[in-house]
Amino acid sequence: MEVNLQNAVDHGLNKDEFNKICDLLKRTPNLTELGIFSAMWNEHCSYKSSKIHLKKLNTKGKKVIQGPGENAGIIDIEDDDAIVFKIESHNHPSFIEPYQGAATGVGGIMRDVFTMGARPIANLNSIHFGSTQNPKTKNLLRGVVKGIGGYGNCMGIPTIAGQTNFDESYNGNILVNAMTLGLVNKNKIFYSKAVGVNKPVIYVGSKTGRDGIHGASMASAIFDDKIEEKKPTVQVGDPFTEKLLLEACLELMAGKSIISIQDMGAAGLTSSSIEMASKGNLGIELNLNKVPCREEKMTPYEIMLSESQERMLIILENGKEEEAKKIFDKWNLDFAVIGKTTDTKKIELFFDEIRVAQIPINILAENAPIYDRKFKKTKLPQKIKFNKDDLKKFKLTDVLKKILSSPNISSKEWIWEQYDQTVMGDTVEKPGSDSGIVRIHGSTKAVATSVDSSAIYCYAHPLTGGKQVVCENWRNLISCGSKPIAITNCLNFGNPEKEENMGEFVECVEGINEASKFLDYPVVSGNVSFYNETKDKGIKPTPTIGGVGLVTDYKKIITMDLKNINNLILVVGKTEGHIEQSIFARNILNEKKGPPPEINLFNEKNNGETILKLINEKLIKSTHDVSLGGIITAVSKMAIKGKKGFKLIKPKVLTSKFHYYFGEDQGRYIIEIEPNNLPKVQKILKENSVHYDEIGIVTKNEVIVDKEPILHIDDLTKSNKTWLIDYMSK
């Protein structure tokens, strides 16, 4: 078939890109070659709209072993231990086919981690759905949760943390971001860089089928009315095969056979082979007749672009083929020598003894298009003046119950109860806390981890929102007593060809970078998901941050549940009463305008480090960061988890009680301390110039706020825990 411009457009390439391909090749590509270009030059694989901005991110740190550019980032957690971690999106597939889309997203991120020699020890997820009034939301939520749980549970990897949000901007594009942590000996890390000429290229895992063809290209496209036609582009996962693949790969890695290894993820055999060769400045030759296929008469085009799951590409030392084959035979997995490395610096494909493709590697990788797209910055919105008389008609406790039962604040137990949280026996803190915590088996160490996003703040002012989401993640790790080390990011945005959307991306990245640098919280891996848009309507900018921190002794972690009656409750950090863009403003006052809360990075760092000092001095009984819903929501969640009540009295400050209790000022923590420790706590806070308010005490089961009617903790618990159960049961 003779390839023309229309073929290129159908593959997601524009006129200029097609002409560039013809110029670089000095000829017109054939269909297989066009498919390869389409895969490697799409947004999902090439990062052509984001690369120049991602290069500005802070990626270095004392604990960083591997930053961006590999399958996953790696950090040092002392001794000989390292943590491998990354977050990835599987948004488009999950909207089209929620169960398989979410399941294969989990499978893919786990392969990225164990490809580097690490055994996965924990999964997390960040999932965003449309309005609860949208008729599709309930089924999408049910399918995604089943997919995440189905794959992770079968693999035997605990899901220890996550977040779920609802917003109408996700009606046409849900977000499914999956994150995995793995443990590896830092002297036994594997990389994807090919080394050496005439080294055997090995295909292992499942057979190749026609599922997932054009999956990467679909992830770089806008949805329209023909979305149902894209179902064949969604990959089909088999967690039981992936479990076998994990064990077989780790067994082979225990020897000295592997030179490099790469997961066949987005763009399948195409991206894995080209990326390995590109990193090693080598060529690669593949005989596609030797690729194990589960369907008859597959063409070179289909073989190269298939995104069938549970597959790896390995480059071995010469003479190690039989040794490797025995391992994969033992685990009942396909094993085939399908090619070799070369010194040609080209990818050469053969099928039926005919060369069906020949492309210089640098054209596909280093010389892929890079766009410096135009963008518009977002002005900081003006502050809103709220009418005091409008606030007087509300009862604080009624508002509190309404907020606790709102979709984005309510308990997500219905979700996480479907995940295996304790398999492997090392989970220290399960979902529902500031951070999930898993111990390092055989030691006192543990790692804390959390995922966070804040689309509302980012939409209001992307620069501030970018800073906030990093700080929120930092506080979640601080709250349990861990030392934050590094982050991964999944940057979910609309069409980058629109100046407004591109501006949101650029400013969010700038905000993430500012906070990352100031907090010494480097970015070590990540993913960009553009074109989250349906019928010209895009999502709110949603950068998701996944963080990892070190706990030196897991027996000394601090949890958020209130502990003992008559203990004191303090707010650490200054409260100004910022309610613009808050849950209170949006859900109670129906006000969606105004700026997000200001981010003071000095205070964030200083307050967080001071909290760690208090924890290390054993002066804190429980703690929880203040985020959505403000002070009273944070205290309520602590009370619900601890099955205790509380009595709060607003300090004599200028702001109203609604501003004080529901304001979402940043950099704050709620701490519970014993009364006799108050002088010691005050001393440390004053020495570090940290503002604090004494606001109440822990009670047996009464909830008392200023002069409001007395509630029972059961009232708050019911408000918080029943909404999602009721919603999903209707």
Residue with tokens 């003046």: 385
Mean pLDDT for all residues in the chain: 94
Is the pTM here over 0.85, yes or no? yes
Query: What residue spans of 341-382 are helical by DSSP H?
Result: 361-364
Question: Secondary structure of 485-535 in the HEC alphabet?
Answer: EEEEEEEECCCCCCHHHHHHHHHHHHHHHHHHHHCCCCEEEEEEECCCEEC
Question: Secondary structure of 238-283 in the HEC alphabet?
Answer: CHHHHHHHHHHHHHHHCCCCEEEEEECCCCHHHHHHHHHHHHCCCE
Asked whether residue 497 carries a pLDDT value surpassing 60, the answer given is: yes
Question: Secondary structure of 46-101 in the HEC alphabet?
Answer: HCCCCHHHHCCCCCCCCCEEECECECCEEEECCCCEEEEEEEEECHHHHHHCHHHH
Residue 222 confidence (pLDDT): 57
Residue 422 confidence (pLDDT): 92
How does residue 267 score in pLDDT terms, banded at 50, 70 and 90?
confident
The number of CA neighbours under 13 Å toward the Cβ of 292 is: 16
- Let me know: does 243 contact 35? Beta carbons within 8 Å: no
- Give the separation between CA 512 and CA 58, rounded to whole angstroms: 9
Mean pLDDT of 49-75: 96
| % residues pLDDT > 70 (the chain) | 97
User: In the numeric block, which tokens belong to residue 238?
Assistant: 């088999």
Helix (H) or strand (E) holding 285: strand 283-287
Question: pLDDT tens, 312-353?
Answer: 999 999 999 999 999 999 999 999 999 999 999 999 999 999
Residue 14 confidence (pLDDT): 93
Active-site positions?
44, 90
Question: pLDDT tens, 142-180?
Answer: 999 999 999 999 999 999 999 999 999 999 999 999 999
Residues ≥6 apart with Cβ < 8 Å to 96: 227, 228, 230, 231, 233, 234
Mean pLDDT of 245-259: 95
Question: pLDDT tens, 209-231?
Answer: 988 786 544 444 555 555 454 54
Residue 218 confidence (pLDDT): 46
Mean pLDDT of 680-708: 96
User: Reading across the β-sheet that carries 311-316, which strands appear in turn?
Assistant: 258-263, 311-316, 200-205, 334-342, 283-287, 346-351, 354-360
Question: pLDDT tens, 356-392?
Answer: 999 999 999 888 899 999 999 999 999 998 887 788 8
- Let me know: does 445 contact 157? Beta carbons within 8 Å: no
How does residue 654 score in pLDDT terms, banded at 50, 70 and 90?
confident
Mean pLDDT of 105-134: 97
Most confident of 235-249, 459-473, 642-656: 459-473
Mean pLDDT of 393-411: 95
Question: pLDDT tens, 478-488?
Answer: 999 999 999 99
Helix (H) or strand (E) holding 317: none
- Let me know: does 351 contact 269? Beta carbons within 8 Å: no
Question: pLDDT tens, 520-578?
Answer: 999 999 999 999 999 889 999 999 999 999 999 999 999 999 999 999 999 999 999 99
DSSP for 662-715, please give it. Answer: H---SS-EEEEE-GGGHHHHHHHHHHTT--EEEEEEEESSEEEETTSPPEEHHH
- Let me know: does 65 contact 75? Beta carbons within 8 Å: yes
Residue 582 confidence (pLDDT): 97
Query: What residue spans of 497-651 are helical by DSSP H?
Result: 499-518, 583, 601-616, 630-642
Residue 627 confidence (pLDDT): 95
CA nearest 65: which of 149, 184, 180? 184
Mean pLDDT of 23-42: 94
